[in-house]
Structure formats: structure tokens, C-alpha cells
Amino acid sequence: MSKIVVGLAGHIDHGKTSLVKALTGVDTDSLKHEKERGMTIDLGFAFLNKNIAIIDVPGHEKFIRNMVAGASNIHVGLIVIAADDGIMPQTIEHLEILSALGLKKCLIALTKIDLIDDNEWLDLVESEIYELINSMNFNLISCRRVDNLKRTGIKKIKNDLLNISRDYSFINDSNNFRLFIDRAFSKTGFGTVVTGTVQSGELKVGDELELFPMKYKTKVRGIESHNGRTEKVIKGQRAALNLSNISLKKVKRGNTLGTINSLKLSNKALCYVKLINNTNWRLKVNQRLRFHLGTSEVLGRIVFNKKIITKENPDTNVIIEFETIVALAMEDKVVIRSYSPLETIASGVIIDPLPLLKNKYIKHHLDEIPKGNKERFLFLIKKNYKKPKSIEGWANLFFVKKELIEKWILSFDLKLTDDELIYSTENYGLVEKDIFEFFNDQYKLNHFRPILNADQIKIFTKINLKWLKFVLSKMINKNLIISNRGGYSLIDYRFEATKEEKNQISFLKKIIFDSNYVPIKLEDILTKFSENPKNASNLLYLLQNQDDIIALGNSLFLDKKRFREILKIIKDFFSRKTEMGVSDFKQLLGLSRKNAIPLLEYLDKQGYTKRDKNFRTKGDQLNEC
């Protein structure tokens, strides 16, 4: 038997609160103003038994905001309709809201039958109810005629609820805990307490949570569920959580409690929107609206690729731009109401809580984004080919378990990198094409520099670095590129110098060669080289890649032939002696101390010599010469 939450809904003064009292013995109108005015203003809570919680929501149109907050936390709707009034405006609006929130199971309590002596009238009202319920595609469990005072029909409704609880089951499709807060209060001796219905995951005493959207950290000190203390709650259960390390003034209805870092914050989301059936409203670009998300109400505007959403074109994908930061998950339900006058006008489903696509693409191709979760997953995989996510990353975005993502991977024949980044064959081909284009573009801009490093490629192509390195390694295996001096080159690239460039290269090589064993500074090279500095820099880079010269560091260069001669000289020295001082090195090559030190430091770094205080010994690398 599952623990469920039943929400009472219906027009004002149709007997919702009286029905709750008849079912549970609890008067949910606990506020002074509610007693004085004889109407429910805020949410009321009661328990039929340890498995069935009941939320009584306001019926008056002025308090629909509170009604939606309560409705977001229920599993079954108990719709209360007075026999003398029949279906009224708030009856329809409440049903529209329940439908928008994805709730389909409902019961009807036809109350105040003691005021009607005519059975034909009751039959007519019931007939209208069935017609309305069927038109809105609800799964009607039962329709009971009720007299709250004489308790007629109360037992039947109780049995209906017990049967629903017995047969109800939840699919816990996410490991992340989430709860929409509908009440927050302070209890003497305990501190801050919040209540709500567990939307996903499970929670244990002692677990750490995050309060969204403020991102305050807190810890669960104690848990009550369905009027009893417990060590754990799971999806679908009503929960009262005693929180530590957080004051009541930081918490309010509309906040969300969740697993740490499970929700991302944004002021924009992609949403599938559909006008409700019983509205004459039209949605226009940048129209200010009220968005009910969980137990919160947020103001914002919608942007879409159609100028107007009308009854003739009642649904489309839109961009919602919120006026405040929100914390959403994929597939969250949205109730959309007008700013003024207050009316429910549309429903919505979040299809991307943190838009991955570029704004330009979204605005021109918004309708292409699939409504179905699985199909949208494949769509986003393909469209975000430069920045693939891991299995865990996609599971967090879609707010589902990793096992479901793994099923989708198999279903669509997708592939994984060693880091579990998900990609398609098409994705790989597009990235490979982008890399080729980048190489060719760079070679056109500067054909002196055939070697490009991964960071360069990443910055210009905007490809995720792990994904880029994976593709580059594949391209090496396919003999498309080669790994070269810490970077990459196209395997078939051949440098072809012009006649003028050949002359410049020869002259530059001569300048460095003529410096003999003295490392030559870049500024001295430029003084002797009459061409512009940028061209000299490119030629020096080319000569390094061709292994004609050596860059010692600190803008010092040495001819490679001269360097080989130096290695031969010091190798001969170490055949006779075990230690070499700076003075020995200076004497061997005829260098000043200023010129000898940079060269010695380079020899140490490359392993040709080993420094021991003021002396050098033979390095392992010298044996390879």
C-alpha cells in the first residue's frame, strides 16, 4: 500500500472543508480570518490514516495562487461540486490546473444533496460532470453523492481512497531528492520545520540538503511522515523535515529542497506551452505572465517564433525569461496565469531547464525541439556535438537515473568515450570536419606554423577539451594527423617556401650559425634581420620545427649543428674527468660566464648534464649522443 496525497479542489462554498472534517475529524480552517469569513484562504492539512494525507485548497478565485501551491504536491484530485450550484467557474479552473500539473486520477464528491429533492436534477448535474471530466481526459474513479452533515456517502469515499492507496505505485525515476515546500514554521525545541510532498529520490535523517534557489546548505535533523516519526521518506510521501543550520526567515513556501548541486539556477528555460481549453486569452510576445512552478509563483515573459498563440494555434515551444532566478528540472509542469486580471490560461512542460543550445539557433528552430523526453535526449546529443556530456551529466540534466540514460544510449546506438562522454557517429564526423577546417584555415593564415596545440584548437573551435583530445587520438590512429612536439599537424601537410622566403630562411640560419657557441638573443637576431619582427618570429618557429635551431629559453637561440659540436666536446671532457665546473665549460667553448650559464642550464634540463652544487657530472642523455 502506497502513501498518497489527496487534494480537495472545487468552487468556493461547495463544502470542501466540511468534507475533510467528515472524512478525518479535522477542521482545516485553522486561521482566524478563515473562521471569521467562512472560507478557506490558505492550505489546510489532515490525514485520513497513516497512508493517506489530504490537502484542502482554497476555492475562491483570489486565492488560486495558494490552490496551485497545494495542487503541485498531490497525486489524486477529490473534486467537490455542490448539487445546488453544479459546475462553476472555479470548478473548471481547478480541473484545468490539475490537468496542467499532469494529474489525471480524480474522484467527484457531489455535496449538499440534502438541498435537492429532485433526483432528476441530481442525475442532470452528474451527467454534466461526466461530460466535463471526459472532455478533459481525466480518469474518473467514482462520483459519490454526499451529505457532509448526515455523513451520507462518506464511507464510500473513504473506501475509494483506501482502494486507490492500495493500488497506487510510484516510479522513482531519479536518485536526486526533491521536495517543493508548501509550509515553513518554527517549532519550540526543534527550530525550523518545512513540509511538502517528496517529488523524487529518498531522504534519511542526517542527510545534507540544499535550499534552492538561494543555495543555502542544511541538514535533516528529524523527519515525520503522515503523522508519524520516521528515519526515511521516499517519492510520493508527505514529509515534515526538521532542518538544522538554517533560520526560519531564510525559508518560505515556494522554495525547493534538494540533493546538493542537483538543480542548476537560471533565469531562462525552454518550455512547451499549450492554451487551456476554456480560455479566450491569446499569448503575445513579451506578455508579462505568472508562472507557477512547484509551490512558487514567478513573474516572467515568453518569447516564441509565432507572433501569437491562439485557439487556432494553441501550442508551441517557447523561451521563458523569468524576472528572478529559478531552479528547475526537465519535465517540470508549469501553470501559466495572466498578470491581470488573474486567470489560468495555459499549461506548460519544461523541455530544457538550462538551455544548451545557442540563442540564435533556439529562436529560429524552437519548434524542432521534441516534446518527448527520450527523443529530446537524442536531439540535444546531436545539436550539442561540440560539448558532449557524460552519462552522469545527462542524468542530472534530465533528472533521471543513470540506468535510463544507459537504456537510451543502447536504443539510439550511441557511443562512449573513455570518460563516458556520449556521442553519435554523426557527432564524431562533425567534430573531425571542424578540426580539419581549423587546421586548413590556420595554414592559410600562417603556413610557417604546421603544429597546433590542443588548447589552440579548443579556443577557436569551442570543442570540449576531453572530447577534443579523444577525437584527436582517433585521428592519429586513422593516420589523418600526427602528434608533433606537444601539438598536432595534418599528416599530409608539406611546407612550401617561396623563393623570397627561402632566401630569408638561409639568411636567418647564417645569423644564428655565425654566432658559434654563443647563444644569440632574439633582439640581436632582429637587428641583423631586416624583415619585420612577425616574419622573423615565424621563421624562427619554422626552423625549430625543422630541428635546425634550438630555443634555449629566455629568447636565446643556438644552431643545432653547433649544439651537436658542444655535446661532442663535453662528452670528450667527461671521458677524461668526472666533474665539470663553470670555468671548465667556459674554457672548453671560449664563452663568458654570462653566455655559459644559460647553455649549462639547458644541458641540465635536457639531461645531458647533472648539476651538483657548483659542478656538473655526466647525464644519462649524453650516452645517447
Supply the pLDDT for residue 546.
79
Superfamily of domain 4-167 in the CATH hierarchy: P-loop containing nucleotide triphosphate hydrolases (3.40.50.300)
Decide which of 88 and 504 is more confident: 88
In whole angstroms, what is the distance from residue 468 CA to residue 435 CA?
9
**Could you give the dihedral angle defined by the CA atoms of residues 340, 345, 348 and 354, in that order, rounded to the nearest 10 degrees?**
-20
C-alpha dist (Å) from residue 243 to 101, 185, 193? 28, 11, 6
pLDDT band at 449 (very low <50, low <70, confident <90, very high): confident
Q: How many residues does the chain have?
A: 625
Average pLDDT over residues 167-177: 87
- Residue 623, pLDDT score: 81
Rounded mean pLDDT, 132-139: 90
- Sorting pLDDT into bands at 50, 70 and 90, what band is 310? confident
Task: Report whether 188 contacts 237 (CB < 8 A).
Answer: no
Residue 128 pLDDT grade (very low, low, confident, very high; cuts 50, 70, 90): very high
Of residues 245 and 228, the one with the higher pLDDT is 245
Kindly indicate whether the domain formed by 394-492 is annotated with CATH number 1.10.10.10: yes
In this structure, is the dihedral angle defined by the CA atoms of residues 272, 277, 278 and 284, taken in order, positive or negative? Answer: positive
Task: Determine the pLDDT at residue 365.
Answer: 81
DSSP code per residue over 260-279: TT-SEEEEEEEEEEEE-SS-
Q: Higher model confidence: residue 358 or residue 554?
A: 554
Ranges of each domain in the chain: 4-167, 178-258, 267-368, 394-492, 499-624
Fold of 499-624: Arc Repressor Mutant, subunit A (1.10.10)
Q: What's the confidence (pLDDT) of residue 42? A: 54
pLDDT of 324 strictly over 80: yes
E strand or H helix at 345: strand 344-352
pLDDT band (50, 70, 90) for residue 533? low
What mean pLDDT do residues 436-440 have? 93
At 522 the pLDDT is 86
Lowest mean pLDDT among 94-98, 140-144, 606-610: 94-98
Residue 149: pLDDT band with limits 50, 70, 90: confident
Cα→Cα distances 77→97, 272, 526, 614, Å: 11, 24, 83, 87
* DSSP assignment string, 359-403: HHHHHHHGGGS-SSHHHHHHHHHHHTTTS--BHHHHHHHHTS-HH
pLDDT for 7-32, tens place per residue?
Answer: 888 888 888 888 988 888 887 654 33
Mean pLDDT of 231-238: 91
pLDDT at 65: 57
pLDDT band at 393 (very low <50, low <70, confident <90, very high): very high
| Extended beta strands in 113-248, E state | 139-145, 178-187, 191-200, 202-204, 208-212, 216-225, 228-230, 232-234, 238-244
What is the model's pLDDT at position 309?
82
Q: Which CATH architecture has domain 178-258?
A: Beta Barrel (2.40)
- 305 has a pLDDT exceeding 80: no
41 pLDDT more than 60 = no
> Cα–Cα distance between 111 and 15 in angstroms, integer?
7
The whole-number average pLDDT for the span 382-409 is 94
Indicate the pTM of the whole model. 0.77
Cell of 260: 546538493
How high does pLDDT run on average in the chain? 87
Place of cell 461547495: 14
Note the pLDDT of residue 98.
Answer: 86
267-368 and 394-492 in the same fold: no
What pLDDT score was predicted for residue 63? 37
Q: Which of 237, 235, 233 is nearest to 223 (CA)?
A: 233
Q: Using pLDDT thresholds of 50, 70 and 90, give the confidence band for residue 37.
A: very low
Highest mean pLDDT range out of 28-32, 94-98, 578-582?
Answer: 578-582
- Could you give the 3-state DSSP secondary structure of residue 199? strand
Q: Is the pLDDT of residue 117 over 90?
A: no
Check residue 531 and give its pLDDT: 60
Helix axes 64-71, 89-100, angle to 10 degrees: 40
Nearest to residue 206, comparing CAs of 186, 248, 177, 167?
A: 177
Judge whether 580 and 614 are in contact, CB under 8 Å.
Answer: no
543: pLDDT confidence band, cut at 50, 70 and 90? confident
> Residue 495: its pLDDT value, please?
67
pLDDT at 217: 96
The mean per-residue pLDDT over the stretch 91-112 comes to 88
Share of the chain above pLDDT 90, in %: 54
What single-letter amino acid sits at 37? R
Looking at domain 267-368, its CATH class is mainly beta
- State the pLDDT at residue 451: 83
Which neighbouring-strand residues pair with 228?
225
Q: What confidence tens digit (pLDDT) does each residue in 42-72 have?
A: 577 888 888 888 888 764 344 355 656 656 6
